[in-house]
């Protein structure tokens, strides 16, 4: 076995790591708009020298708005996936049922937390930032795929939040402490979710032939391509918001658009693809699945 995760131990560590919304952000608490909110390793706004420092920070904050929105969207399809996965086994292993329902409940709490941050953002930011969606349509498109493909996407997303947390640590002192706290608290619970996702993916892959796994990987890439298109559209919305906020057009708009799309690719796809634990799961499932992801990863770097 390539890991020692199990439902009983993961439930126990989940219950120990749990926090409340108010531990992270109080209802009505303001964010600090004099600082960056996203780690530079994710937002990649400091390298845009056609923008002055104030404009770079404004785009960094728009990138934080994107983060709240995109995580809101993905958590909204993780929740029904978990419920669907738990339902046929409600009378089975008690640890498993409780661990997965607790996982679902934490994900519902994350949706709530991201909304609370989003409300605080909208209250403090001068212009409206548009978001792709509606989230129900995005979720329906993702969930229409093979559950193994969806499970792998979710596993990748949960592991990537570790990379996001580490990025926020490296930006120490620069970032709005509330956003740092968001990254830390989210990862604390996602670390447990990723273990459960690993068990879920193992179960969904068991008994599948190499060819069946390969077809699920095709669907994984179809979901990835769909999300990537959304990220490209979102990068355009972000630049629209930046231009409204700074009252001028951005020079070399196409180059900035591509650069910001690439930052989104790394944040929401690539940083999970290269996670060691995600690769371990792929390797244990199928060598060729792992090779396919390794081949695609540089596109999302």
Binding site for Fe ion (CB under 5 A): 110, 158, 190, 193
Q: By the 8 A CB rule, do 289 and 282 touch?
A: yes
What does the alpha-carbon distance between residue 88 and residue 175 come to, in Å, rounded to a whole number?
44
* Shortest Cβ 111–Fe ion spacing (Å): 8
Half-sphere exposure of 273 (CA within 13 A, CB side): 22
Task: Please give the helix or strand (H or E) that residue 57 lies within, else none.
Answer: helix 53-86
Q: Residues of 40-58 as b/e, b for ≥16 C-beta within 10 angstroms?
A: bbbbbbeebeebeeebbbb
* Shortest Cβ 142–Fe ion spacing (Å): 15
Q: Which is nearer to Fe ion, 176 or 190 (CB)?
A: 190
What does the alpha-carbon distance between residue 16 and residue 50 come to, in Å, rounded to a whole number?
47
Q: Which is nearer to Fe ion, 171 or 190 (CB)?
A: 190
Q: Which is nearer to Fe ion, 100 or 256 (CB)?
A: 100
Sign of the torsion formed by the C-alpha atoms of 97, 99, 103 and 109: positive
Give the DSSP letter of residue 30.
Answer: P
* Shortest Cβ 75–Fe ion spacing (Å): 5
* Shortest Cβ 9–Fe ion spacing (Å): 17
Q: Which is nearer to Fe ion, 55 or 158 (CB)?
A: 158
* Shortest Cβ 65–Fe ion spacing (Å): 18
Q: Which is nearer to Fe ion, 76 or 158 (CB)?
A: 158
What does the alpha-carbon distance between residue 27 and residue 109 come to, in Å, rounded to a whole number?
14
* Shortest Cβ 3–Fe ion spacing (Å): 17
Region of 272 (left: φ > 0; alpha: ψ -120 to 50; beta: rest) is alpha
Q: Which is nearer to Fe ion, 188 or 204 (CB)?
A: 188
């Amino acid at each position: 076995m390539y890991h020692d995760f199990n439902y009983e131990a993961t439930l126990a560590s989940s219950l120990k790591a749990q926090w409340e919304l108010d531990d992270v952000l109080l209802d009505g608490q303001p964010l600090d708009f004099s600082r960056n909110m996203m780690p530079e390793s994710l937002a990649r706004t400091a390298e845009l020298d056609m923008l002055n420092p104030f404009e770079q920070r404004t785009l960094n904050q728009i990138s934080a708005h994107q983060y709240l929105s995109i995580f809101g969207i993905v958590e909204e399809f993780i929740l029904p996936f978990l419920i669907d996965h738990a339902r046929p086994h409600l009378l089975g292993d008690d640890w498993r049922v409780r661990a997965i329902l607790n996982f679902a409940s934490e994900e519902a709490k994350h949706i709530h937390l991201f909304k609370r941050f989003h409300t605080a953002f909208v209250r403090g930011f001068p212009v409206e930032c548009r978001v792709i969606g509606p989230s129900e349509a995005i979720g329906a498109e993702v969930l229409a795929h093979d559950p193994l493909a969806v499970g792998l996407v979710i596993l990748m997303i949960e592991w990537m939040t570790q990379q996001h947390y580490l990025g926020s640590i490296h930006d120490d002192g620069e970032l709005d402490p509330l956003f740092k706290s968001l990254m830390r608290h989210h990862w604390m619970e996602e670390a447990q979710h990723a273990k459960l996702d690993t068990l879920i993916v193992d179960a969904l892959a068991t008994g599948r032939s190499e060819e069946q796994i390969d077809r699920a990987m095709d669907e994984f890439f179809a979901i990835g391509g769909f999300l990537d298109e959304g990220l490209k559209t979102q990068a355009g919305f972000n630049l629209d918001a930046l231009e409204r906020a700074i009252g001028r057009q951005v020079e070399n708009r196409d180059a900035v658009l591509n650069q910001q799309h690439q930052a989104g690719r790394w944040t929401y796809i690539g940083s999970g693809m290269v996670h060691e634990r995600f690769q371990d799961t792929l390797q244990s499932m199928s060598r060729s699945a792992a090779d396919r992801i390794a081949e695609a990863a540089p596109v999302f770097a």
